[in-house]
Amino acid sequence: MEKGTDRVYPTASTYAIMLLAWRRFNSESDTPVHLSNLPNPATLLSNLIERGISPTAVVADRVLATSEEASDIIKLLSKSAVDLNHPRVLAELGQAESLGRHVPDPLEGVPEVKPVVRLAVQILDENGNKIPAQSQEEVPFNLNNLRSHLAQVTLARRVLPEDLASRQKLLEESVYDVAVERLRHEARLFDELGLGNRELHHADLQKWMWDWHQKLKARLEAEIKDIITAEEKLSKRICTFQRMGPFLSLVKPERLSLITILEIMRLQGSGGVSDGMKTARALLTVGRAVENEYKAEMCKRNHIAIPSHTRPKEFTGYFTGLGYKDLHARRMTAAKYMEDSEEWTSAWTQVLRVRVGSILVDCLMDTATIERTAVDKRTNEEIKENQPAFYHAYEYVRGQKLGVIRLNPVVSERFAKDALHTTLHPRHLPMLVKPKPWLNHNQGGYLYNQSAAMRFKDCQEQQTYLEHATALGNVELVYAGLDVLGSTPWKINRNIFDVVLKVWNSGERLCKIPPAVFDQPEPEKPPNMNTDIKAKSVYGARLKAFMHDKANNHSDRCSVNYKIEIARAFLGDTMYLPHNLDFRGRAYPIPPHFNHIGDDLSRGLLMFGDAQPLGEKGLRWLKIHLANLYGFDKGNFDERVNFVMDHLEDVYDSAEKPLDGNRWWVNADDPWQCLATCMELHAALESGDPHAYMSSLPVHQDGTCNGLQHYAALGGDANGAAQVNLSVTDRPSDVYTYVANMVEKVIAEDMKNGEKYASMLSGKVSRKVVKQTVMTTVYGVTYIGAREQIEKQLRDKDVVPEEECWAASAYLAKRVLVCIGDLFSGAKSIQIWLNLCARLISKSIPAERIPDALQAPKKSPRSTAPPSKNRIRKEQMSSVVWTTPLGLPIVQPYRKTKRKQVMTAIQSVYISDPNAPSEVNAIKQASAFPPNFIHSLDATHMMLTALECRTQGLTFASVHDSYWTHASSIEKMSEIIRDTFIALHSSGVLEKLAEEFRTRYGSHKVPLESLRSGKLLKNLQAAGVRIVASSEQANALRLGGFSSFDDIIDVSDEKSGSIAQISKAMETEPTQTEAPLVISDRRGRRAKNVVKKVSAVMDGEEGDDDCAGEDDADSILVDKFVDLSAVLPPLPKKGDFDVETIKKSQYFFS
């Protein structure tokens, strides 16, 4: 019948019979019949779609006698629709299922989320009259896109309630399918309105993009055929050339068209190019997008098996030698299996990406046009002209010609209004199945879309180091830690969701949910504004703040809308959040919009997907948790329990009548989490047996200013340890309150002296005002950063008038920093040591590169700058690199990026290439190292805790230094937190770091010229650095005007000196004033191609002839170097605090 040879064709009934036969007699059924030619559901679905038969008609046919048969057939067809990538068929089957379903729907009775709306753009006809619109409001494009994507998820839940793998596949469906549906809808809408090709400035950007898509798709179909034909002819004559036809044929022309348009539009305004983008970046981005789309398609089409999270029965833990070897062996086996299954996933070269991208972009630029309309000023006639939507141009930057692709001015103007650049791609969503275990740096997380294990910051070094460490098997615990975090199950807290949805749909402002209509009054214009300059200035400041807050209200509401839409789509499901790392090793969930690292609302909406009985201790910790969330977190544990019991009536009122009661929970520090805990505690107490109540609520253990905790442990600082709860105390210390009280005392003194802002701020400096500044002091916060932090707090609390906010925050920031300065001296000494190490490393040069560095660089014929004497600065390319205790290599990415020429099919351009070799940014390397190092330590502590919790069967989640588990598991997790922290800081962290620096940079030398800064020399002297020099070398420096070196030089003619004078080349003959000595390494072996010349400059003698014409600094210091290991400062003296004390500290994490 399918072949039609007998002129008899299948109908809906035919397909219903065949599907029923498959259901009853397939090989996995209870009554299998082995028929080789029995078509499977995917084949049947393809055929009926090709014949134009509705799947609903098949499901509704009378051949299916029972509801159970119809439901099973819907599931078979739905799974096939996912496999065959037919979202429309899935939607149709979902509607059919919803009409006759018997599976309870979690969304049954849940109201729709009212979307954020904005006023619709008025549309005019040719005569300038307004065209009546059905609605005066419209949903912003990004929310529409998200809602349409989530609607598919909801339909999938109806038709595939138990098949999570298929639903996850649909969830990761290509973003381009969603985009093309959106553009098709926009085009259809404009056709229905009869707009066609009306005046351009009233056209909609999506309508243009749909027109370009139609033209580009046709052009690509013809272009690819021509390329394949031409390459076949060429291959007969030339054997060695790279064909483009096979790569362009990997993805359908329709999808190639969408990829090109969406990626080019997304790059608009990027890279510092106004109204356009850099050509090379555009070509690379389009080429990479085609590569990723092809790989995702192949992964879906080939049904690549996903490695599981199962552990062997004889699991010995992550930290034993046997357990680590087993972990490494299993990951390597899984990675090999994936590679064998995915041979086609080898990365494309940059050249290939550029060539594919250039063909696609070139075709787009040829086909994408718009019609512009203007009025002739002389004749008043309307003139219409077709113009390209994109065009090539050149831009001169620092004297270099930069190739760019620009948008037509009208397209650019429309683009700015539609804000499309933030909305093209539906973001990653949580997963319905456990994430794929991390197998290497780019395999893990989502099943069908490639994710990176580390978020590289435009730094090829970071990826190279991670790949190398992975190949050596050094990062097994890091990947295992990511797997632990990603496999934690989550679900939506339905009780909180109902309250949130009610508040949202009401449009009122409540607990950081912004109102639907901005509810703050506009500042009144003062009557004397035109005559009083001060009144005008005050009004201007207040009006600016009002407009800023109004704009923020809309963006905040859109952000909350995303969270609520996603939460609604996942109601009733268990979900998972795949994690990856930033370059410092800190873990973050990959789904950006809705996760537990988000704000209070996101955390309040989430619960663990599994439950544990509370028990007596769990009930106590639930009460302590509630007190912490409310803000009563500085009393001892008994006081916190008593606080909750004293407010038990308020807890019950909040749980039973959250919106209609007295709203006690609204005044909490974290109101939505507080409400969730009130409801959990109420449910437990009312359950009849609170100790047996199955609780899913995460309970937190937070560190006290965790950066300071690490500094205190590193330095053995007893005073610092007492401030941040490392010591044994009866009640918790609060460093923030301590600093706030110190500041209040200083303000009281200033008030006596008549300080204006002191009287304005007196009594208003709470712990919250100074908290962020105190917390970030150990991370190197500057005065400017501190002022901005304090200004934000003053604005939020409305402590001072708007016009005085800036000046008041400037005054307060100075006072806060002064008060902090004396409090953490131990942390400051380690911070200075880390800073100095980074500064010296960034100034160092490998010994083998020094002779070349001393050569004068080749002068560019176009350059007008005076020639440089050497290349020393250009050779200072050493980033600060260190390894965490878990084996993760950390590379600081801060460099001065270079520009290089790239040849493309469109034009030859100069672009900035962040991956090209370039000198480091020494200032940024030094200032960022202390905070980055501490962040890598807290990330290590978190990973160790996660792994040990998994080993002992605890559910675990974290937000950096806040660790979460079930209430009943808190005491066990607290013990693990302390054990892992003690183990980390008992391993000689700073000693190992210093030794790693001496090993990694053992052959590096620092030019003396780079040390001549007075401030750097003073810091080196204060840190205890001593350089050994001969009397001749010391005398030469003194005579050359560099007596400042005397403070760090030890003169000795017996010991081998640290200072080396290195020549440019071997051919220079030593004169009578030079005593050539060959440099030897530490083992006494001769170093190749490097000569040390001890300077013998005496009174009355001139320097080398090579230095003629240069200043004294050049003639004396230019070729003198000191071993980096000789100037690395010794470790600061460690205090007497014993880290083992933490075991007895109740409030270390609490």
Contact present, 779 and 936 (Cβ < 8 Å):
no
Other C-beta atoms closer than 10 Å to the C-beta of 349 total 11
What is the b/e burial string over 903-927, where b = at least 16 CB atoms within 10 angstroms of the residue's CB? ebebbebbbbbeeeebbbbbebbbb
* Segment (H or E) for 1029: strand 1027-1029
Distance (Å, rounded) from C-alpha 761 to C-alpha 1047? Answer: 46
3-state helix, strand, coil in the chain (%, to 5): 50, 10, 35
* Ordered alpha helix ranges (H), 735-782: 735-752, 756-761, 767-777
Q: Is 961 assigned a catalytic role?
A: yes
Contact residues for 372 (Cβ-Cβ < 8 A; gap 6+): 200, 384, 385, 386, 387, 408, 410
* Segment (H or E) for 910: strand 908-913
Type of residue numbered 847: A
Contact present, 837 and 1128 (Cβ < 8 Å):
yes
Contact present, 671 and 929 (Cβ < 8 Å):
no
**Residue 345 DSSP class:** G
Distance (Å, rounded) from C-alpha 657 to C-alpha 660? Answer: 5
Angle between helices 735-752 and 767-777 (to 10 degrees): 110
Q: Is 913 assigned a catalytic role?
A: no
With the CA atoms of 554, 557, 563 and 567 taken in that order, what torsion angle do they form, in degrees rounded to the nearest 10?
-140
Q: Is 573 assigned a catalytic role?
A: no
Positive or negative: CA dihedral 729, 735, 736, 742 = positive
Write phi, then psi, for 999 (nearest 5 degrees).
-80, -50
Contact present, 603 and 596 (Cβ < 8 Å):
yes
Distance (Å, rounded) from C-alpha 64 to C-alpha 482? Answer: 48
Tokens of 240: 């060695």
Catalytic, out of 295, 771, 828, 1005: 771
Contact residues for 794 (Cβ-Cβ < 8 A; gap 6+): 769, 800, 805, 808, 809, 812
Distance (Å, rounded) from C-alpha 547 to C-alpha 550? Answer: 5
Distance (Å, rounded) from C-alpha 423 to C-alpha 512? Answer: 24
Comparing C-alpha atoms, which of 1083, 1009, 1007 is closest to residue 849? 1007
Q: Is 906 left (phi over 0), alpha (psi -120 to 50) or beta?
A: alpha
Comparing C-alpha atoms, which of 741, 763, 762 is closest to residue 751? 762
**Residue 245 DSSP class:** H
Contact residues for 519 (Cβ-Cβ < 8 A; gap 6+): 509
At CB < 8 A and 24+ separation, what contacts does 39-46 make?
40/80, 41/76, 41/77, 41/79, 41/80, 42/80, 42/83, 42/84, 44/15, 44/18, 44/19, 44/80, 45/77, 45/80, 45/81, 45/84, 45/86, 45/89, 46/84
* Segment (H or E) for 702: strand 698-702
Tokens of 801: 């008038």
The count of C-alpha atoms lying within 13 angstroms of the C-alpha of 53, restricted to the half-sphere facing its C-beta, is 20
User: Kind of pairing, strands 1027-1029 and 1049-1051?
Assistant: parallel
Contact residues for 858 (Cβ-Cβ < 8 A; gap 6+): none
Catalytic, out of 600, 938, 961, 1104: 961
Distance (Å, rounded) from C-alpha 644 to C-alpha 29? Answer: 57
Catalytic, out of 163, 702, 979, 1106: 702
Catalytic residue IDs: 702, 771, 961
